Amino acid sequence: MTARRLVVAAAQLGPVQPEDGRERTVGRLIALLREAHRRGATFVVFPELALTTFFPRRFIEDERELDAFYESSVPGPDTRELFEAAAALGVAFYLGFAERVEEAGHVRRFNTSILVDERGAVVGRYRKVHLPGHADHEPWRPFQHLEKRYFDHGNLGFPVFDALGGTVGMCLCNDRRWPETFRVLGLRGAELVALGYNTPRHYPLAPEHDRLQDFHNHLCMQAGAYANGCWVVASAKAGIEDGCELIGGSCVIAPTGEIVAQAQGLGDEVVLADVDLERCREIRDNIFDFATHRRPGDYGPLSD
């Protein structure tokens, strides 16, 4: 079995406060990128909504105020320096951000991630499918989670892309909790899944689960990696952001479901791991050999 090795990095980002501008935040991303490169990484995963604070925790009525959190083009004036730095270093990356586009004469807003190759070119795009939270103003909450208000349901499905010498898939935050996310990517041959997340410590609807947030975060990703024989590179926005505590736990997970590298704190941090994409075969040629062992005819309720 010939190795297909690369060094990957989950670039965890500490809190981004509402008053932090794009220039400062992009500067932090570039610093993480350079640190990852210095330590040998050729692929870096940044968090979900990495360019701004997690604005869905606020109820915003002013359209202009809301639009300030979205990107209409990437790379754009505020992000071009990141793409140029990556191209100069020869490092590929995944980036999560809020996307505003016009499609068929209508304004659409998506929670988006992109895959950027080592030349700084966008080679893949994903728009979040499993939007959590609520759409209406609920001021009783200590903080809100208005993704259903500020984002449209992703309209690209779960595509995979030829990159990094293998097959790469993407997802975002809440997507990781749904087994179907990893199964569709696995059926399409994803050998590495990149994802970013923003996860509060406190869950107002079931506060008894607060103590389980770190456990559940890793549980769903480890299960997804193992059941589909793929690597997972997951990067958090962490720490106290806009008065809300976000968990960390950024990590790299092997196809066996084992965490091979994990963040130690809640600030800006590079988490590195040596990845061999051929290790996916340990799972895919054996216990989870789909062609031999799957029985899709018995899974009707999944789609019915």
Catalytic residue among 71, 99, 128, 220: 128
Q: CA–CA distance from 218 to each of 48, 176, 178, 215, 257 (Å)?
A: 16, 10, 13, 6, 10
Catalytic (active site) residue 220 = no
- Amino acid identity for residue 273 in this structure: A
DSSP letter string over the chain?
Answer: ----EEEEEEEEB----TT--HHHHHHHHHHHHHHHHHTT-SEEEPPTTTTS--GGGS----HHHHHTT-BSSSS-TTTHHHHHHHHHHT-EEEEEEEEEEEETTEEEEEEEEEEE-TTS-EEEEEE-SS--S-SS--TTSSS---HHHH-PPPSS-S-EEEETTEEEEEEEGGGGG-HHHHHHHHHTT-SEEEEEEE-BS--TT-GGGGGGHHHHHHHHHHHHHHHHT-EEEEEEE-EEETTEEE----EEE-TTS-EEEE--SSSSEEEEEEEEGGGHHHHHTTTT-HHHH--GGG-GGGT-
Query: What is the sign, positive or negative, of the torsion defined by CA atoms of 188, 91, 8, 215?
Result: negative
Catalytic (active site) residue 237 = no
Catalytic (active site) residue 103 = no
State residue 133 phi and psi, 5-degree precision.
85, -145
Catalytic residue among 71, 99, 171, 173: 173
Catalytic residue among 48, 99, 241, 269: 48
| Catalytic annotation, residues | 48, 128, 173
